[in-house]
Structure 1
Amino acid sequence: MTTTAQPTTTARPPRGAEIRRHELAAFLRSRRERIAPEQVGLPRGTRRRTPGLRREEVAQLSAVGVTWYTWLEQARDIQVSVQVLDALARTLLLDASERAHLFKLAAATDPAPGASCPSVTPALRETLRALEPFPACVQNSRYDILAYNRTYARLMGDLDAVPPEDRNCMLLVYTDSDWRASIVHLEETMRLMAARLRASMAGHLGDPAWKTLLKRLERESPEFRENWERYEVVGNRSKTKEFLNPYVGHLTLEHTDLWLGPQAGPRLVTYTPKNEETRDRLEKLLELALGPREAARL
């Protein structure tokens, strides 16, 4: 009797996307399990068996469906938007390295202000330093702060203490207490910035980073929602701005935008003093930012 050899089958090695999904699922579970409910404002209760947060709690805090988030931790083949990844990163209290790892596993581009920008070259950073004591920074049309000098870092509080993913002028003006307290004409500034954002956003309506910023502003600031619903549009222009600096007092500055390319993309933002009193106070602000030892070398 002859036997017919049965065809042998070999398991198909997992593809790159499948490997990433499993790594993403494991990473999310590990980050979820390390967070105590109290860290995100939830009661621990007496019947909690799960270490850290439950899946439904992560879903609720991130404004996504429980089933969808469960599938994500099960490495199902589903699409993940950058808005959801951004929300998960905040819910899970990820630091900058963990956030970057999350987006890499999801094969997505991080829309946060902390992302790198090719326009910010070493030469441009040196230019920012050379402008001191005048405050200066590099922003894009979405108001992300891409780079800044030491005087700008102290212009409205302590920018170095703000997480890189939150270094966006719109977010700071509408949600950060230090920035809000430092702007003399706050209501006018907020309304103008919302109008400028709407004008700029016309060319980026499908951009995930813009949609992420807009949704976060609408979620966190009733004042922004009110100004956004006015549908006002304003172009870019130089103007005089007044600040009540927490370190040196009142500053009157001339705001100027210097565009770094032919399109309305990244721009160098400078603040020059309108009077001698402001100039002297900027010198003092730089000394405070540098510290006594470094200031003595100038």
Structure 2
Amino acid sequence: MSSAALRPDAPDRSDEVRRRELASFLRSRRERIAPEQVGLPAGGRRRTPGLRREEVALLSSVGVTWYTWLEQARDIQVSVQVLDAIARTLLLDPNERSHLFVLAGAGDPSPGRECASITPALREMLDRLEPLPACVLNGRYDVLAYNRLYGHLVDDLDAKPFEDRNCMWLAFTSPEWQQALVDREAALSSMVARFRASMADHVAEPAWKSLLNRLRAASPEFEAAWQRHEVAQPSRNGSKRYLNRRVGLLNFDFTYLWLHPRLGTRLVTYTPLDEPTRERLDRLHALVTAG
């Protein structure tokens, strides 16, 4: 045992590691956000991508020096109120927000399942798209928000635990989703290939690693697909078929509307490909809205 380990006043290396992880995490989240996403003018050329430190400080109502120290892994105290403000400024999704509070060694005072990037305007857009099914997905295929039609495209998505509202998780582990995806084999192969390509930018992020480990442990089918090491870039649109237990076969064109310049979070809309699908979708809408 080293002499440092025997000294009662030896610094806690775990705290130092955690502070450095927090600093790296904040920088990575700051650099992915375009100024216009948070209501700032795009401006001219920037030396670094994303927001500047002083912009994060301003939007979070904290001092620039204090925030700079936070990104420099200084040993400073941070309140849960400030962490909450930073999480909102950086548009953290629920998994990222949880990770922020863990790294800061603080308890989240409001561990809700709302995602800061899902604005009231975006929620209204989802609602007004009905009777078209629509949702917002991130790069991990987490379903961040959805309208009632998407929520009943397969079964009742509201009844699923929050951590299970992920398209890959449902497609590989839910019997209802496995039966509803008509072209399931091709869809799963494509999803895994895109997830692997996207993960190249997120290999050190706990939310991504946690989902990957969870899928590998739960589904031998996913593990086999993962071991093929196939990669694919996100598509702009395509077609998909669902077998809905209440109204039958639904044929859709789906369209991605990207909400982030790095092709991560997107609004996905489903448009009927044929008249029978349009009629069945209207019936499903009537059933859903009737309660």
Q: Does 1:140 align with 2:131?
A: no
Distance change (3 Å), C-alpha of 1:105 and 1:205: closer
Distance change (3 Å), C-alpha of 1:285 and 1:137: same
Which residue identity is paired with 2:259?
L
Q: Does 1:116 align with 2:111?
A: no
1:157–1:182 Cα contact (<8 Å) kept: no
* Structure 1 SS opposite 2:187: helix
Distance change (3 Å), C-alpha of 1:138 and 1:185: same
Identity of aligned residues (%): 53
- Corresponding residue of 1:221: 219
2:234–2:263 Cα contact (<8 Å) kept: no
Distance change (3 Å), C-alpha of 1:283 and 1:219: same
Structure 2 gaps of 5+ residues are 1-14, 16-93
- Corresponding residue of 1:151: 149
How far apart, in 1, do the equivalents of 2:180 and 2:259 lie?
Answer: 28
* Structure 2 SS opposite 1:287: helix
Matches within 5 A, 1:1-80: none
- Corresponding residue of 1:286: 285
1:139–1:147 Cα contact (<8 Å) kept: yes
Which residue identity is paired with 2:116?
P
Q: Which of 141, 154, 175 is the aligned partner of 1:177?
A: 175
Name the TM-score, length of structure 2 as normaliser: 0.62
Instruction: For residue 200 of structure 1, report the CA deviation from its aligned partner.
Output: 0.7
- Corresponding residue of 1:194: 192
- Corresponding residue of 1:233: 231
Instruction: For residue 235 of structure 1, report the CA deviation from its aligned partner.
Output: 1.1
Instruction: For residue 131 of structure 1, report the CA deviation from its aligned partner.
Output: 0.5
How far apart, in 1, do the equivalents of 2:117 and 2:206 lie?
Answer: 20
Instruction: For residue 185 of structure 1, report the CA deviation from its aligned partner.
Output: 1.0
Structure 1 gaps of 5+ residues are 1-17, 19-95, 293-298
Q: Does 1:164 align with 2:141?
A: no
1:134–1:151 Cα contact (<8 Å) kept: yes
- Corresponding residue of 2:125: 127
Instruction: For residue 216 of structure 1, report the CA deviation from its aligned partner.
Output: 0.1
* Structure 2 SS opposite 1:256: strand
How far apart, in 2, do the equivalents of 1:151 and 1:164 lie?
Answer: 18
Q: Deviations over 1:63-93 (max 9, x none)?
A: xxxxxxxxxxxxxxxxxxxxxxxxxxxxxxx
Higher gyration radius (CA): 1
Instruction: For residue 280 of structure 1, report the CA deviation from its aligned partner.
Output: 1.1
* Structure 2 SS opposite 1:173: helix
Q: Which of 184, 206, 209 is the aligned partner of 2:207?
A: 209
How far apart, in 1, do the equivalents of 2:245 and 2:133 lie?
Answer: 15
Instruction: For residue 151 of structure 1, report the CA deviation from its aligned partner.
Output: 0.4
Residues 189-198 or 114-123, more deviating? 114-123
- Corresponding residue of 1:25: none
- Corresponding residue of 2:261: 262
* Structure 2 SS opposite 1:261: coil
Query: Which of structure 1's runs of 4+ aligned residues deviate more than 3 A?
Result: 103-110
Q: Deviations over 1:167-216 (max 9, x none)?
A: 01110000011111100011111111100100111100000000000000
How far apart, in 1, do the equivalents of 2:180 and 2:107 lie?
Answer: 33
Instruction: For residue 262 of structure 1, report the CA deviation from its aligned partner.
Output: 1.5
Which residue identity is paired with 1:218?
R
* Structure 1 SS opposite 2:255: strand
Instruction: For residue 265 of structure 1, report the CA deviation from its aligned partner.
Output: 2.4
How far apart, in 1, do the equivalents of 2:200 and 2:104 lie?
Answer: 28
Distance change (3 Å), C-alpha of 1:109 and 1:254: farther
How far apart, in 1, do the equivalents of 2:102 and 2:205 lie?
Answer: 18
Name the TM-score, length of structure 1 as normaliser: 0.60
- Corresponding residue of 1:73: none
